[in-house]
Amino acid sequence: MKAKIVSLSFLFVLLQSYFNSLLSQQDPQYNMYLFNQYIINPAYGGTREALAIVASLRNQWVSFPGAPQTAYVSMHAPIKKYRLGYGIAAMNDRIGARNTSAGYASISYILPLSSKWKLSFGARAGATNYQFNLNKTEYKDADDNSFALLNSYQKTVLDMDAGLYLYTRSFYFGFSATHINQARIINSSFAVGGGTSSVVYKLIPHGFFILGKSFFINDNFLLNVNYLQQSVGSRFKGDLSVNALIKNRIWLGIFVRGDYGGGLLTQVIINKQIRIGYSYDVGAGIKRSLGGTHEIMIGWDIRAKNNTSVINPRFL
């Protein structure tokens, strides 16, 4: 009974932070979350049953100057004796005149519900540094000084995420929210038109809902269907993907992203420890002029020598 009360309280706080969110997307876009769900949900930490190290690099819209470039590295592992998972992560995201760097640590609790079902609760906290440099920006109005404070501005704030993750051998469901403390980056006033105005910029909670199911066709073929919905306030964006594992070595997948376009992804399992992934996406219609997006990753799973089990096939 106590575990159920704690679970419901945790979910209430998470949903409250999620539904109070507003404004547009601030978090980086990833395709390789399919191979590392820890990137969007701290509750995933420790569920892979190995010390999992992943690094990824994303170069978005290669034909568009100042487009996002994102680097990410993470490590997470279980502490089976205490049903815990822990992890750390670091990220750098550059877009135009803004440079964001962040470092996080997470903890999760993995609750067995039955012989097949497990439920994980996770929380993550860290420091995020925002840097703005608009010195080289050309304004239509040469006398416009409304963003003068951003000519060389930076601030580091506390950042907190939380999530839950329900899974079996072939099914998973996750929900997470970032920036639940809604840290304020900028809160400043400036003179304009004989009066004053203000610039306010704060981190807004982003919601991530993921649902996936794997179907075992035969020993050489596994099919995975995955849906991810991202949201910021009333704005929603969905990703639907279908992925196939061939001969337990190669993942091949295709995905469609709502109101944008689609792409392809692959992961090659070199051996029981090393895996390498790549994805490419491109916008549809006028968005195609932005250029394609490339994302690469490498994963390293470290397990105890006496652990001869194969990583659960539900994991991409």
Give how far the C-alpha of residue 273 lies from the chain's centroid of Cα atoms, to the nearest Å. 23
The per-residue pLDDT for 66 is 79
DSSP class of 34 = G
- What percentage of the chain reaches a pLDDT higher than 90? 59
Domains of the chain: 2-302 (2.40.160.40)
Check residue 1 and give its pLDDT.
46
pLDDT, tens digit, 9 for 90 and up, residues 274-297: 999 999 999 887 777 778 899 999
pLDDT digit string (tens) for 195-231? 666 777 888 999 999 999 999 999 899 999 999 999 8
Cα distance between residue 152 and residue 168, in whole Å: 49
Which among 104, 128, 126, 123 has a CA at the least distance from the CA of 161? 123
Render pLDDT for 165-181 as a digit per residue (tens, 0 to 9): 999 989 999 999 999 99
Q: Which residues contact 157 (CB under 8 A, 6 or more apart)?
A: 127, 128, 130, 183, 184, 185, 203
Higher pLDDT, 18 or 125: 125
Can you give the pTM of this predicted structure? Answer: 0.84
Q: What is the mean pLDDT of the chain?
A: 84
Predicted pLDDT of residue 152:
78
Residue with tokens 């420790």: 46
How many other C-beta atoms can be found within 10 angstroms of the C-beta atom of residue 35?
25
CB 58 within 8 A of CB 295: yes
For residue 169, list its beta bridge partners: none
Beta strand residue intervals within 152-287, DSSP E: 153-167, 171-178, 184-192, 195-202, 206-218, 221-232, 235-246, 250-257, 261-269, 274-283
- Please check the confidence at residue 7 and state whether its pLDDT lies above 70: no
- pLDDT tier, 191 (very low <50, low <70, confident <90, very high otherwise): low
What mean pLDDT do residues 158-171 have? 96
pLDDT number for residue 150: 64
Note the pLDDT of residue 273.
Answer: 92
